[in-house]
Amino acid sequence: MTGTSIAVGAAFALLGVAAERLAVVWPPDEASRRGPGPRTIVLAAAAGAAGWGIAARSTLPWWATGMHLAILAVLVLLTATDLEQRRLPHLLLDPLIVACVVFVPFNPTVAPLDAIIGCAAALAFLGLLGLVIRDGVALGDLYLVGALGLLLGWQGIFVAVFIGGLLASVASLGLLVVRRVGIKSYIPFGPFLVAGAVLTLVRDDRLLGAALEVTGRVLAFAGVLPPRD
């Protein structure tokens, strides 16, 4: 755990707060203008942990790690917007897609063909799911999963979607139990896709490189990485 990764984590925690505050006032026609609350704290903590985890975990060249963090910054903004407004705006999705497309030929750990297959397979899978479960998958989710497929490759994206679906199911059941939502309520899937992608990134040696010894032990202790012998 280095000073740099801690600084990155702190910066992303602040970004989480800023993203959550921005989502309640912009765009004006969607603004709820509610004050800070538990969601502000949770998003700040999650964004900070994600930023720290990627920075501490990565053994890639600095520019590749920086690209992953830049993409993460957009994902944090998308997460805050989807949680607040139940939508993933193209103003954020389009730069994300462009960044992931540009990164494909330069990504040190995901071959271009794997990235293309990952994008196509994720779009096909989630698109089919959307046909089976009416109103279960929004169009913005398809754009998001396509971009994540380019970033993670075909092996990583299926793990990310599985984790995201599992987290979404657990969260939905919890909200049903406490009666915060009804059986037909819409729960945004975007934040869970983002969570699945981040967890996949920090768990998979193929995506951010082999873990450094100290960082690997810290993340293993936290339950993010499997214990090392």
Dump pLDDT digits (tens) for 21-53: 999 988 777 777 888 899 999 999 999 999 999
For residues 74 and 103, the answer to whether their CB atoms sit within 8 Å is: no
Return the beta strands (E) in 78-168 as ranges: none
pLDDT at 225 over 50: yes
- The per-residue pLDDT for 222 is 55
Across the range 211-218, mean pLDDT stands at: 52
Across the range 167-181, mean pLDDT stands at: 83
- The per-residue pLDDT for 187 is 81
Alpha helices in 179-212 (DSSP H): 190-203, 205-208
- The per-residue pLDDT for 129 is 85
Top pLDDT among 133 and 98 is at 98
- The per-residue pLDDT for 214 is 45
pLDDT at 135 over 80: no
